[in-house]
Structure 1
């Protein structure tokens, strides 16, 4: 398995794909990240066509176990960010 693409590599690839400079590509990436963060934090969802859907899901309060002591303790309800991968991306990986 190869290493994940770094932010610098992603910005460089985005700049090349857009035919723009790295500063513009970096600003575009930051803007997209800010929009996704703002929307998901507010309880909404963002669909990236061909990639997937990013959304926030609430988990109910539940009992958890401390693995060191085996003690059961309550855990408050919380929210987690989830992503559903688009079928097009899954299909392209399995070709």
Structure 2
């Protein structure tokens, strides 16, 4: 898949679409946060996305959460994001969601 500017996950209710991330409700107490390839500068979403930017942001986030595990609490649940969406939506969350 090329860049993802906007997710279209229909199997979960959309809670919030921010400048860079889209958030979906997973049950009553969890969120699926998907990093898109959108770029934001000075509160404006720019027209040209950066391919794989969401995957890179997520990889950096995962690295630091693992590095700081036991020192600082975080919001990771250990649930694989691909397991909470429909099979046809997995490519939208693979490597870019927590």
TM-score, normalised on structure 1?
0.29
Q: Report the structure, 1 or 2, having the larger helix content.
A: 1
Structure showing greater Rg = 1
Q: TM-score w.r.t. structure 2 length?
A: 0.28
Q: Which has the higher contact order (CA 8 A, sep 6+)?
A: 2
